[in-house]
Structure 1
Amino acid sequence: MRVKRLRIENFRGIRNLDLSFGDSGIVVFVGGNGAGRTTVLVAMQYLFSWYVARLKSPNGKGVQLDECDITNGQPYCFIEIEAEEHDKTVRWSLFKKRASYRKPVDRLARRAELNRFVDSKMEVFADGKEHNLPLVNFYSVNRGVDAVPLQVRQKFQHGPLDAFDCNLNNSVNFHSFFQWFREREDMENELYRELGEMFIGELQLVTVRSAIRNLLPGYDKLRVKRDPLSFVVVRNGKTINFSRLPDCKKAYIALVGDIARRIAMANPQSAYPLEMPAIVIIDEIELHLLPKWQVGLVERLKETFPQVQFFLTTQSKHIVTSLKKSKGDTLVALDREVEG
């Protein structure tokens, strides 16, 4: 699935914005403070919350627009997205009008196409087997690794639908990633004991480790050490305690690992999950990263996740100057003129 177009009218600080993305694999939004970078991503988050909700339940509800989302001085707000998969287009929208505004508005909340699209995706699950689903996930600026849990306090589900998370509270808690990793590695160890040298690794964990290795040169083999109990990672050939890494590196490893594990979970029928399509939305991609880590980041994202469509915001010149239009990168410059 690919996002082809996004329309925003009177949503928070954005008066009118109509964007076409073509075949862009990387879309980066830039602009000064208050220009609407995060607002664009939140509009996408709201719209995709309905996709996720309907996947999980035929009557599921995503985020409803509220009057506080309407631009000051305007009577309504409207957001619409158009996506494409296998030459099939699906379009849906959200709409909210002020209760005090009595005049008719030529805008509606439409989700019929979305419902049909999701129904077609879920019909194949009637055979009782797991099937691939196009992943969508959102990462806000409220992300970080404040602690690394080592005890598995819940049993995790690992199916395609479990890969989806609306993140409606706008914060990202990587605790679930580390707990998932610990549980999954326990399963991997059991399989290794049963199969011996024939066992080449649990696919979802192999996917996560591969993504970390590709995106963070010099870092490899994230695993759980049993005595003493701790998460460790190999850095330039030396095993070190994960908790002793700088916050910027911990957050980056967790972000990359979380994207990879969700793609792997959403695509159980793929032997190469990192090559599967997805939509990943990240606010302030350079968050926590030192400038030297920002250099080449976009290229490494594309190499590691070649079929993922990324929507990013940034204020980093290193990110902006690395974009290449000839390779399908798109830069969207927002300014205060879009504000109400």
Structure 2
Amino acid sequence: MTDQVKINKGNTQSDQQPKSIKIRNLKIRNFKGLDDIELDFPVPQLKGDPDIIVMGSRNGLGKTSVLESCALLFLAASQDKISLNRFLSPGISINIPDLLIRGGEEDANISGEFFIDHQKFSVNLQISRTGNFKTNTDTPAFKQVLTQKHFQLFYTSDNIERFFYSLVGLSPEPILLPHFIYFHSYRKIQEGGLELGMMVEDKSYRRLKRVRAELPISTFKLEILRSLMSRGGLFENIDDTESEKVIETLNELMSRYASGTIEKLRPSQDNTIEFRITPKNGSASFTFDGLSSGQKEIISTLFLIWKYTARYPGIVLIDEPELHLNAEWHRRFIHNLYQLAPNNQYIIATHSEDIFASVESDRRILLSSGED
């Protein structure tokens, strides 16, 4: 049976073509375990071919460090100044510069070339052990070419703090920014219901949750909750213009990978709400948390990529997409990914031979120690 996921074309801009951002070159020096490396992510040979690079290697050769370097360089290009001392809470005991800078070195350097449509931006980033990020690029021009409104909304101190929490493993949530997504290898859909207050984009609420030392809010579940609630038209100040398209796309994925759909919510005694899956075979509904790790992984990953890049296509980094997935899904992952969201650039790190072999040879990078 052909494994297909429909493309929901309704969730795209109609008034103007969205900007397209890609990274084509990356140079890394003294970053984590990487001494000195340069990589190219070339344009596909034929127009219409997937803009996908798949990296493979043995463990410990730096695939994850390459993805993290891309993430840091994009953040640096979008900011005038970054200081870890400014963005991170005082209670965080991890020395992040020590995690990022190669042992025995004073700083790490990352540089690269971004293209926004056909305009090139060269970006250089130096990370010091004091926690300061020194950037050499025309960041105002970079931000101006992109959507200025969304940079103002997304690149707040709270969101940059969450960026670093995800990058160093303090949060299981993926990094979701305009034109840029990074799914790290320790991502996880948090189990448990959601409170209605989580639907409010309010800093004080999120900080209260942090003070309570509770688990991070699941972005995937929050997007679904907002769409289900707004579809009913019962709440003010919640945009319902896209809720039907969101639920339709979600349920296409649910039908494919879980043989059911999400249509209803169930309140719990602890004042939270859980999603209920209605099976195709008519059996009793069950909670979304009852799905396998692999089902939750592939549904949430594909959904979030579609949701966050439909209007603002860009760079999508995925570390070990094969996590929890069965071998059959390995072979079809790239196809389903590109079919659902074809306008992005994908850079994927994998141990899966099936995923590595699912792209043409010119779209593969095999990292080696130089001793093989």
Which residue does 2:221 correspond to in 1?
Answer: 178
Give 2:82's match in structure 1, choosing from 48, 53, 61: 61
Q: Which AA in structure 1 matches 2:146?
A: K
Matched, 1:324 2:345: no
CA contact (8 A) 1:135 1:277 kept: yes
CA contact (8 A) 1:152 1:183 kept: no
Which residue does 1:203 correspond to in 2?
Answer: 242
- How far apart, CA to CA, are the structure 2 residues paired with 1:212 and 1:14? 42
Which residue does 1:149 correspond to in 2?
Answer: 193
Which residue does 1:315 correspond to in 2?
Answer: 351
Q: Match of 1:29, SS?
A: strand
Which residue does 1:78 correspond to in 2?
Answer: 109
Q: Which AA in structure 2 matches 1:324?
A: E
Q: Match of 2:196, SS?
A: coil
Which residue does 1:5 correspond to in 2?
Answer: 25
Which residue does 1:87 correspond to in 2?
Answer: 118
When residues 63 and 235 of structure 1 are mapped into structure 2, their CA distance, relative to the original with a 3 A threshold, is: farther
Number of positions where the alignment pairs a residue of Structure 1 with one of Structure 2: 286
Give 1:251's match in structure 2, choosing from 293, 297, 304: 297
Give 1:223's match in structure 2, choosing from 263, 267, 282: 263
Identical-residue share of aligned pairs (%):
20
Matched, 1:50 2:73: no
| C-alpha RMSD of the superposition | 3.6
Q: Match of 1:142, SS?
A: coil
Cα deviation for residue 72 of structure 1 reads 3.6
- Structure 1: gaps spanning 5 or more residues: 100-107, 126-132, 159-171, 192-200, 268-275
When residues 93 and 183 of structure 1 are mapped into structure 2, their CA distance, relative to the original with a 3 A threshold, is: same
- How far apart, CA to CA, are the structure 1 residues paired with 2:341 and 2:83? 27
Which residue does 1:139 correspond to in 2?
Answer: 183
Q: Match of 1:143, SS?
A: coil
Q: Which AA in structure 2 matches 1:183?
A: R
When residues 251 and 224 of structure 1 are mapped into structure 2, their CA distance, relative to the original with a 3 A threshold, is: farther
When residues 88 and 234 of structure 1 are mapped into structure 2, their CA distance, relative to the original with a 3 A threshold, is: farther
Which residue does 1:285 correspond to in 2?
Answer: 321
TM-score (norm 1): 0.71
Matched, 1:303 2:339: yes
Matched, 1:333 2:353: no
When residues 258 and 156 of structure 1 are mapped into structure 2, their CA distance, relative to the original with a 3 A threshold, is: farther
Which whole-Å deviations, capped at 9, do the CAs of 1:18-48 have from their partners, x for residues lacking one?
A: 1111215111111111111111111112112
- How far apart, CA to CA, are the structure 2 residues paired with 1:224 and 1:254? 18
When residues 109 and 252 of structure 1 are mapped into structure 2, their CA distance, relative to the original with a 3 A threshold, is: same
TM-score (norm 2): 0.66
Which residue does 1:41 correspond to in 2?
Answer: 67
- How far apart, CA to CA, are the structure 2 residues paired with 1:147 and 1:67? 32
CA contact (8 A) 1:3 1:82 kept: yes
CA contact (8 A) 1:204 1:261 kept: no
Give 1:119's match in structure 2, choosing from 140, 144, 169: 144
Cα deviation for residue 222 of structure 1 reads 3.0
When residues 74 and 298 of structure 1 are mapped into structure 2, their CA distance, relative to the original with a 3 A threshold, is: same
Matched, 1:190 2:215: no
Cα deviation for residue 74 of structure 1 reads 4.8
Q: Which AA in structure 2 matches 1:217?
A: R
Q: Match of 2:335, SS?
A: helix
When residues 234 and 295 of structure 1 are mapped into structure 2, their CA distance, relative to the original with a 3 A threshold, is: farther
Give 1:263's match in structure 2, choosing from 309, 324, 329: 309
